[in-house]
Amino acid sequence: MMVSLAEIRETSGEVFTDGCPTRVVLDHIMSKWGVLVLLALTDGTRRWGELRREVDGISEKMLASTLRTLEADGIVSRTSYPEVPPRVEYALTELGRELMEHMLPLVQWVAVRADGIVREG
Whether 33 and 63 have beta carbons less than 8 Å apart is answered as yes
List pLDDT tens digits, range 21-60. 888 899 989 999 999 999 999 999 999 999 999 999 999 9
Contact partners, residue 92, CB within 8 Å, separation at least 6: 38, 41, 42, 75, 76, 77, 99, 100
Q: What's the predicted TM-score (pTM) here? A: 0.89
Domains, the chain, in order of start with CATH, read: 15-120 (1.10.10.10)
- Please tell me the distance from the alpha carbon of residue 48 to that of residue 117, in angstroms, as a whole number: 33
What is the residue-averaged pLDDT of the chain? 93
Percentage of the chain lying above the pLDDT 70 cut: 98
